[in-house]
Amino acid sequence: MGIRLQDIAAQNAPIQDQLEAALTRVLRRGQFILGPEVEGLEREIATYCGARHGIGVASGTDALMLALAAAGVGRGDEVITTSFTYVATAQAVTHLGARPVFVDIDPKTWCIDPERVARAVTRRTKAILPVHLFGQLADMGAIQQIALRRNLAVIEDSAQAIGATQHGQGACSIGAMGCLSFYPTKNLGACGDGGMIVTNSDEFAEKLRLLRVHGRANGYFYLLDGFNSRLDEIQAAFLRVKMNGLADYTRLRQRNAGIYDQMLADVPMIQRPFVAPGNTHVYHQYSIVAERRDDLREHLKAKGIDSAIFYPLPLHQQAIYQKIHRGRLPIAEQVAQSILALPIAPEVVNEDAVRTVAEAVRGFYKS
Ligand SMILES: Cc1ncc(COP(=O)(O)O)c(C=O)c1O
């Protein structure tokens, strides 16, 4: 038996009965789109993130798109974001007719570099969209300062970072709005697509609740030109069960990361995840920047150990964005060429298995 990167069925097996009971509860009730489960989950997640409101939507991508729309982003506007992220971050911007302005990353955290954000602001900039990559917050203090000075909205892409904190403040609770994804492989995963916007603003919350149902006020009367993007009751009921175990699940990810950190500390060919001062990391991924990355990956594969590359090509170099971006972003380009995610999810690696993976990495550089 090899070591996989993730095993959703194994993750859910210990709580199978509770999950089935939750699904049955919804089936029996017969209310499937928005309802008591979604409302309950919205309260529970807002509290978990340390914010006032949660607004359940159909996916993380939609959460970003609706948050940007609520902040007034539209045709002709610019949104500053990182090039080193999942494509959804930028597509949420382009779906609204706005333009993502890609900037380079910090070489240690691999999150957006605030100094480059400051230099990218123009009179068309409407929002800043930092991504809390792999489970740790971007430098929100510096980003909020820029936003305040230039009157910009900050929307936190927290798809990978539920539960992560910076100086005690939770992901999603610092910017104007924060966006979560419940894609099944995320730290909090549904049994399908789902997402949520979290905010402290009563005004944004109210607007988002309209936006997700076509902008409807009541009956067949519309206040905004909105979307159809709602979280369904099945997903919410499933997620409420999984929420109960999220803190423990996160602690196990952090324990696994601690073992990697210890065992790989003296391997100079590797750059381990750097946790910035004041941050807690929830390790959606444990990625390393590794010399001879592709050979290392082959070496692990030969030993039955899966690994993955997030992300092999930064967004500014993707074919779909060639028309909107010119120039190099050297740090993102360099990191993309040598980054590798090791198994971290507790359902696939216990302490012994993490040691096995770490030994295999060490063995590669010794040979
Ligand atoms: C950084 C980031 N942003 C946005 C998304 C989009 O979320 P979803 O797949 O739920 O639409 C994801 C994950 O898929 C992500 O990793």
CATH number at residue 319: 3.90.1150.10
| Residues whose CB is less than 8 angstroms from the CB of residue 185 and which lie 6 or more positions away in sequence, other chains included | 6, 8
Torsional class of 35: left (φ above 0), alpha (ψ -120 to 50), beta (otherwise) = left
**C-alpha distance from residue 345 to each of 191, 285, 334 (Å):** 17, 8, 26
Nearest Cα residue to 270 out of 292, 291, 243: 291
Kindly state whether residue 191 falls inside one of the protein's structural domains: yes
Same-domain status, 109 and 195: yes
Residue 314 domain flag? yes
120 plus 213 within the same structural domain: yes
**For residue 367, how far is its CA from the centre of ligand 1 (angstroms)?**
38
C-alpha dist (Å) from residue 139 to 30, 100, 316? 44, 19, 21
User: Of 215, 240, 265, at which residue does a domain stop?
Assistant: 240
Give the CATH number for residue 190: 3.40.640.10
Buried b (16+ CB within 10 A) or exposed e, 297-332: bebbeeeebbbbbbbebbbbbeeebeeebeeebebb
User: Is 120 in the same domain as 21?
Assistant: yes
198-210, pLDDT tens digit by residue? 999 999 999 999 9
Q: Do residues 204 and 54 make contact, with C-beta atoms less than 8 angstroms apart?
A: no
**Could you tell me if 250 and 208 lie in one domain?**
no
d(CA 112, CA 288): 17
DSSP type of residue 270: E
Average pLDDT, the chain: 98
Residue 359 lies in a domain: yes
Is any atom of ligand 1 closer than 6 Å to the C-beta of 60? yes
Tally of domains within the chain = 2
Is 138 a domain residue? yes
Among 188, 217, 240, identify where a domain stops. Answer: 240
Whether 89 is in the pocket of ligand 1, judged by its Cβ within 6 Å, is: yes
Ligand 1 contact via 35 beta carbon (within 6 Å): no
207 plus 330 within the same structural domain: no
Q: What is the pLDDT of residues 295-345, one digit of tens each?
A: 999 999 999 999 999 999 999 999 999 999 999 999 999 999 999 999 999
- The answer to whether position 1 is within a domain reads no
Residue 1 has pLDDT above 80, yes or no: no
Specify whether the backbone of 63 is left (phi greater than 0), alpha (psi in -120 to 50) or beta: alpha
pLDDT score at 218: 87
The DSSP letter of residue 146 is: H
Do the Cβ atoms of 277 and 106 come closer than 8 Å? no
Q: Per-residue pLDDT tens for 36-67? A: 999 999 999 999 999 999 999 999 999 999 99
Both 270 and 223 in one domain: the answer is no
Residue 271 Cβ contacting ligand 1 at under 6 Å: no
- Is 87 contained in some domain? yes
Is residue 2 in some structural domain?
Answer: no
The reply to whether the predicted model has a pTM over 0.75 is yes
**Whole-angstrom distance, CA of residue 236 vs CA of residue 169:** 25
How far apart CA 117 and CA 139 sit, in angstroms, is 11
Is the domain of 158 the same as that of 48?
Answer: yes
Q: Are 21 and 77 in the same domain?
A: yes
- Given a cut of 80, is residue 178 above it in pLDDT? yes
CA of 90 to the centre of ligand 1 (A): 10
Residues 50 and 149 in one domain: yes
- Residue 206: strand, helix, or coil: helix
Write down the pLDDT at residue 108.
98
Average pLDDT of the segment spanning 231-243: 98
| C-alpha dist (Å) from residue 235 to 38, 193, 270, 280 | 8, 8, 39, 27
Q: Is 3 part of a structural domain of the chain?
A: no
Residues 228 and 253 in one domain: no
Ligand 1 center to residue 310 CA distance, Å? 12
Cα–Cα separations (whole angstroms), residue 46 to 125, 192, 197, 280: 28, 21, 9, 18
Q: Which of 240, 272, 288 is the C-terminal boundary of a domain?
A: 240
120 and 212 both lie in a single domain? yes
268/183 same-domain check: no
Query: What's residue 146's pLDDT?
Result: 98
Domain boundaries, position 302: 246-366
